[in-house]
């Protein structure tokens, strides 16, 4: 239970009770990342289903954006801005990390955040009434699973930080269990479309993480957040695209 609460508090602004997690518990909580992501997606899916009854699609999409920001506190979007300010604004790993610690937001960060928000807005509008819950649950789940892969398989760039507590003590066991949960739930929700999207998510995390390691020396808490935000867009994009292909084949 403690490990689930750690995952919930790390990925959202929901605090059920005050806890002082041990380092090992933080690493073990990785298995619950896909579960918490699925819960976030379910809340969005229910919001899509209910508000879609009486509101235009544009308004529904805006409400889903607001719900997502309320649940996460905009933490992951902040990671996007810091990450792209650093990756595109520095000429060495040290300088990029320094830029990412700066509380000020630059043009690269603002642009990246706007692109993600606009893409989400468009994708939310494209959801059919029966697609909302399964697609949004899968979006939330696979994007948080992507963070598990980044933590489990790639180095951490800083000597200290909240993300280090996860990386330093994470084992392949957490990654394997988290991956199994993500795979099973993806197949349950959308069949072979989910399996392909699960595979694509893993490949994209690998490609993105290799680039981050090259430019920064490893991941940071900000890049974990950026990974989640970008994967939300990519997962939903592929789900909609593959479902359209599936409909054409059938």
Counting the structural domains of the chain, the total is 1
Q: 144, exposed or middle or buried, with CB in 10 Å at 0-12, 13-18, 19+?
A: buried
| 160-180 pLDDT tens trace | 666 677 777 777 888 999 999
| 17-44 pLDDT tens trace | 666 666 667 778 899 999 999 999 999 9
Question: What is the predicted pLDDT for the residue at 71?
Answer: 93
Cβ-contact 87, 67 below 8 angstroms: no
* CA nearest to 26, candidates 223, 170, 225: 170
Question: What is the predicted pLDDT for the residue at 91?
Answer: 83
Task: Find the farthest-apart pair of alpha carbons in the chain and give their distance in angstroms, rounded.
Answer: 53
Question: What is the predicted pLDDT for the residue at 74?
Answer: 87
Q: Is the pLDDT of residue 47 over 70?
A: yes
CA-to-CA separations, 193 to 37, 94, 237, in angstroms, rounded: 19, 41, 12
pLDDT: is 75 or 47 the higher one? 47
Q: Is the pLDDT of residue 137 over 80?
A: yes
Q: Is the pLDDT of residue 67 over 80?
A: yes
DSSP letter, residue 29:
G
CA torsion sign for 199, 200, 201, 202 is positive
Compute the distance between CA of residue 206 and CA of residue 37 in angstroms, rounded to an integer: 20
CA torsion sign for 99, 105, 107, 110 is positive
Q: Residue 124 — pLDDT band, cuts 50, 70, 90?
A: very high
Q: What is the mean pLDDT of the chain?
A: 89
Residue 71 is part of which domain span?
A: 2-249
Question: What is the predicted pLDDT for the residue at 89?
Answer: 84
Q: 210, exposed or middle or buried, with CB in 10 Å at 0-12, 13-18, 19+?
A: exposed
Share of the chain above pLDDT 90, in %: 62
pLDDT: is 105 or 121 the higher one? 121
Q: Which of 119-128, 151-160, 240-249 has the highest average model confidence (pLDDT)?
A: 119-128
* CA nearest to 144, candidates 229, 10, 9, 37: 37
**Tokens found for residue 68:** 């997502």
Q: Is the pLDDT of residue 249 over 60?
A: no
């Amino acid at each position: 239970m403690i490990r689930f609460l750690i995952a919930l508090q790390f990925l959202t602004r929901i605090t059920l009770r005050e806890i002082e997690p041990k380092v090992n518990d933080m690493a073990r909580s990785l298995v619950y990342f896909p579960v918490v992501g699925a819960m976030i997606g379910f809340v969005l899916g229910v919001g899509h289903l209910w508000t879609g009854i009486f509101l235009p699609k544009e308004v529904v999409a805006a409400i889903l954006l607001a719900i997502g920001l309320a649940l996460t506190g905009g933490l992951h979007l902040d990671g996007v801005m810091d990450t792209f300010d650093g990756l595109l604004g520095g000429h060495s790993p040290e300088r990029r990390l320094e830029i990412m610690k700066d509380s000020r937001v630059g043009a690269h960060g603002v642009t990246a955040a706007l692109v993600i928000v606009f893409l989400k807005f468009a994708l939310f509008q494209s959801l059919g009434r029966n697609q909302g819950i399964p697609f949004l649950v899968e979006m939330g789940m696979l994007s948080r699973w992507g963070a598990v892969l980044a933590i489990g398989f790639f180095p951490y760039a800083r000597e200290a930080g909240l993300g280090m507590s996860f990386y330093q003590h994470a084992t392949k066991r957490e990654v394997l269990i988290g991956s199994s949960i993500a795979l099973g739930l993806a197949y349950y929700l959308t069949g072979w479309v989910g399996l392909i999207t699960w595979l694509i998510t893993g490949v994209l995390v690998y490609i993105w993480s290799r680039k981050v390691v090259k430019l920064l020396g490893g991941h940071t808490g900000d890049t974990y957040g950026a990974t989640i935000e970008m994967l939300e867009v990519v997962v939903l994009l592929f789900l909609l695209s593959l479902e359209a292909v599936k409909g054409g084949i059938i």
